[in-house]
Amino acid sequence: MNILVSGGLGYIGSHTCVALLEAGHSVIIVDNLSNSKKETAEKIINITNKQVIFYEVDLTDDKAVSMIFDNHKIDGVIHFAALKAVGESIKKPIEYYYNNLVSTMVLVKYCLKYNVNKFVFSSSATVYGENRVPFNELMELFPTTNPYGETKVMSERILKDVAQANPMFSVSILRYFNPVGAHESGLIGESPNGIPNNLMPYITQVAKGKLKKLKVFGDNYPTVDGTGVRDFIHVVDLAEGHVAALNNLKKGVHIYNLGTGKGTSVLELINAFEEANGIKIPYEVVDRRPGDIAECYADVTKAYQELGWRASRDIFRMCKDAWNFEKNNSLDY
């Protein structure tokens, strides 16, 4: 199939392009490079030995998006493009609502116009808010604590309404847990701008000596060792989950958790990283980070039953591949 991948040069999008190309699909990447680099397209080509088509286009640019649908026979869309920094979204709500919601609406509009009925959407475990773990897809959603999270809740709602009005439309909403790690080649991975907000890139930058010490946000949660627990998933497993979702699309809206189903605490992740890579990670415990929940992990039964997909790479592999990418890439990657 010809798959339009929005945000395809970003962290998860680039790994998914690799998985799609390896599964025999063609990809048309649309990305405005607001959080990615053009060279990533070359890296995808290097890894797969296959060509990709790349448009440097902003998805809120209605005319430019229309032209892409005019130029290609598109069979399906995987929509990754979004702004994703939780803290920034609190400071710049309009930017987040505008970018994330208008992008989704423009893409869906042209899918309907050009009879593209296959649509896969990047949602997030953040929509579960403070539900009880493990989170399953039938749970009622609690309000999220930030505009970023709300853009995911609202986009899910928009897609449900569109599918209701257009019975041929098939949508998979994928709720990701905590993607970490990198492609085993070390060519593509996560390279956040500035000081990382997320745990794994912070750890790899401490390992590299770019940052001095990790701050562990709280050790008094009601968890196995008092630190926060998350469902870390290898980004290549996640990418493969998208291929499975695309292959198993059904009419209407279907929601799947993409995680491992296993919770790992912050201290357990630090230990796994040290063991996997033989590097000590200095850390100190500081106050809780506002807005954090104690535990977040998935019930992954539905994805396995309906998509035939489950994550296979363990926490050591995640730590090894994350470090392999960090050490192979210069500061300005």
Do 239 and 19 meet the contact criterion of CB atoms below 8 Å apart? yes
β-partners of residue 30 are: 6, 55
Q: Tell me how far apart the alpha carbons of residues 172 and 170 are, in angstroms, rounded to a whole number.
A: 7
Give the contacts of 93 (CB within 8 A, at least 6 positions apart): 147
Per-residue CA distances from 293 to 30, 247, 271 (Å) = 34, 34, 21
Q: What's the min distance (Å) between Cβ of 211 and ligand NAD?
A: 19
Do 147 and 95 meet the contact criterion of CB atoms below 8 Å apart? no
Q: What's the min distance (Å) between Cβ of 31 and ligand NAD?
A: 4
| 200 exposure class (CB count in 10 Å sphere: 0-12, 13-18, 19+) | buried
Q: Is 267 in the site for ligand NAD (CB under 6 A)?
A: no
217 is in the binding site of which of ligand UDP, ligand NAD, none (Cβ under 5 to 8 A by kind)? ligand UDP
266 is in the binding site of which of ligand NAD, ligand UDP, none (Cβ under 5 to 8 A by kind)? ligand UDP
Q: Identify which of 97, 104, 138 has the alpha carbon closest to the alpha carbon of residue 122.
A: 104
Chain-centre distance for alpha carbon 70: 28
289 is in the binding site of which of ligand NAD, ligand UDP, none (Cβ under 5 to 8 A by kind)? ligand UDP
Could you tell me how many residues of this chain bind ligand UDP (CB under 6 A)? Answer: 15
Interface of this chain with ligand NAD, residues 143 to 162, rule: CB under 6 A = none
Do 297 and 262 meet the contact criterion of CB atoms below 8 Å apart? yes
Give the contacts of 100 (CB within 8 A, at least 6 positions apart): 82, 83, 148, 151, 152, 155
197 is in the binding site of which of ligand NAD, ligand UDP, none (Cβ under 5 to 8 A by kind)? ligand UDP
Q: What's the min distance (Å) between Cβ of 107 and ligand NAD?
A: 9
Q: Is 66 in the site for ligand NAD (CB under 6 A)?
A: no
Do 155 and 101 meet the contact criterion of CB atoms below 8 Å apart? yes
Interface of this chain with ligand UDP, residues 203 to 242, rule: CB under 6 A = 214-217, 228, 230
Encoding tokens for residue 298? 């998935």
Q: Is 54 in the site for ligand NAD (CB under 6 A)?
A: no
Q: Is 28 in the site for ligand NAD (CB under 6 A)?
A: no
List 9, 47, 199, 318, residue binding ligand UDP (CB under 6 A): 199
Annotated active-site residue 297? The verdict is no
List 44, 55, 78, 84, residue binding ligand NAD (CB under 6 A): 84
89 is in the binding site of which of ligand NAD, ligand UDP, none (Cβ under 5 to 8 A by kind)? none
Do 30 and 81 meet the contact criterion of CB atoms below 8 Å apart? yes
Known catalytic residues are 148
User: Which residues are at the interface with ligand UDP (CB under 6 A)?
Assistant: 178, 197-199, 202, 214-217, 228, 230, 266, 289, 292, 296
User: Which residues are at the interface with ligand NAD (CB under 6 A)?
Assistant: 7, 9-13, 30-36, 58-60, 80-84, 99, 103, 122, 124, 176, 179
